[in-house]
Amino acid sequence: AQKITQTQPGMFVQEKEAVTLDCTYDTSDQSYGLFWYKQPSSGEMIFLIYQGSYDEQNATEGRYSLNFQKARKSANLVISASQLGDSAMYFCAMREVVTGGGNKLTFGTGTQLKVEL
């Protein structure tokens, strides 16, 4: 069974600073994928970044980067130059490919990020 652990219930960061949100995972699969999603108060889950287990480079998407350490089974999200609009809940998720090629995601419990002036 897959498991995602996010140990930081809440984080504070000052505007324009960088912040790291932690995520560790457990799986017996050799091939897997890791996602980060942002959930603002409106409720919609917004896809941020993806890392495949065989990807040699750490994923980056604009101000988001994923610090992937396979041996340690960690996939931490780094947000650079934080903005007030980054205040939201952040979820780490792992995919299991199911029948027909669909992605069944297992989510962590999330980290509530608050960006302060």
Task: Tell me the site size for other proteins, rule CB under 8 A.
Answer: 28
- Among the residue ranges 14-22, 41-49, 71-79, 80-88, the one whose residues contact other proteins (CB under 8 A): 41-49
Between 12 and 54, CB nearer to other proteins: 54
d(CA 99, CA 55): 23
Tokens of 78: 């780094």
How is 14-50 classified by DSSP, letter by letter?
Answer: ETT--EEE--EEE-S-SS-EEEEEEE-TT---EEEEE
Q: Among 42, 56, 57, 85, which residue interacts with other proteins (rule: CB under 8 A)? A: 42
Nearest residue (CB) to other proteins, 15 versus 62: 62
Q: Which of 14, 60, 69, 103 is close enough to bind other proteins by CB under 8 A?
A: 103
Of positions 11, 50, 67, 74, contacts other proteins by CB under 8 A: 50
How far is residue 106's CA from residue 48's CA, in Å, rounded to a whole number? 16
Collapsing DSSP to helix, strand or coil, 86 comes out as helix
d(CA 108, CA 99) in angstroms, rounded, equals: 23
Q: Which of 16, 70, 104, 114 binds other proteins (CB under 8 A)?
A: 104
Give residues in contact with other proteins (CB under 8 A).
4, 33, 35, 37, 42-47, 50, 52, 91, 93, 95, 98-110
